[in-house]
Amino acid sequence: MGHPFPIREIARQAGLSEATVDRVLNGRGGVRESTAQEVHRAIADLDRQRTQVRLVGRTFMVDIVVQAPERFSTAVRAALEAELPSLHPAVVRCRFHFRETGPAAEQVRTLDRIARRGSQGVILKAPDVPEVTAAVGRLTAAGIPVVTLVTDLPASGRVGYVGSDNRAAGATAAYLMGQWLGDRPGNVLTSLSSGFFRNEEEREMGFRSVMRARHPQRTLVEIAEGQGLDATQYDLVRAALERDPEIRAVYSIGGGNNATLRAFADLGRACAVFIAHDLDHDNTRLLRERRLSAVLHHDLRQDMREACHLVMRAHGALPPAGPALPSAIQVVTPYNMPAQPAE
């Protein structure tokens, strides 16, 4: 087996003679299987310890750039800060650049400032538009690795994406919607914060494809550009409800769920099924109050941990690894909520 360690070092780690280690490594026989396993374990231990040595004393300054409502940005910050101790012996220090909405040019200016000032990495949630993709290219050219968070920029030079399979999440929402509505009549309101976030577009495509295949009789009514903010979401939902008296259910892709429920209540309309995303402050409370049917959630702490690992790998501080697997999609109801909900 290939390895970078001298036989003497392996023998010392395993507590065996150099001759025994040599026989195992070169397949010469005459060695018990348990002894051979000790040699392989010693090599694995040395490899892990070598990684730790590479990390000792390393400080990674990482910029977190997120366009999202405050409730989600707060969850990102809390998840990352909760994971920082697990990254020991490396030290990760963070600079946060959060904004709820605004033109892409503002986010591009933030990314370009980071490129000029320098950083060990950028964790980015941004709309998938050409100017942002170009800014990611400039960061990459400056030697700054970029990891996309929960929504991808696949045409950019990012080193990786962390988050769930959004198309599968949308399909899961459609499956639940069909099961829970059953034979009851009614149309479904789908709500996006913006058409420029790839994760929301993929969720909508997954939802629409399953609904079309399994429940073609149901009309899907789409609203967008509420930015996930209650102030703008309310008017969009109320107008949709006034136009279509048959809306009976909601698939909330982009948030603003307090406002959506208020619009239903103000018009005296019932919402039979309401499926949302992410256990943020608002959705945790609404789910406890039984005002949401279910929340599709994934482990944001796992995402932040993997994003930091991708930054470290880009700097050679961790060994290479295969592509990160998508975060598992959890269907959270009022009856299986985490003991300590995501903050």
Fold of 166-297: Rossmann fold (3.40.50)
> 221-264, pLDDT tens digit by residue?
999 988 878 889 999 999 999 999 999 999 999 989 999 999 99
Token couple for 282: 């608002």
> 58-93, pLDDT tens digit by residue?
788 899 999 998 889 999 999 999 998 888 878 888
> What is the predicted pLDDT for the residue at 304?
95
pTM for the whole thing?
0.79
> Which architecture, in CATH terms, is 53-161+300-325?
3-Layer(aba) Sandwich (3.40)
How far apart are alpha carbons 62 and 44 in whole angstroms? 30
CATH number of 1-51: 1.10.260
Which residues in the chain show pLDDT less than 70? Answer: 1-3, 48-57, 340-343
Confirm whether 1-51 and 166-297 share one CATH topology. Answer: no
> What is the predicted pLDDT for the residue at 249?
98
Every domain of the chain and the residues it spans = 1-51, 53-161+300-325, 166-297
Amino acid identity, position 341: P
Phi, psi of 228 (to 5 degrees): 70, 15
What residues have CB less than 8 Å from 17, skipping those under 6 apart? 11
> What is the predicted pLDDT for the residue at 342?
43
How far apart are alpha carbons 120 and 125 in whole angstroms? 17
> What is the predicted pLDDT for the residue at 341?
43
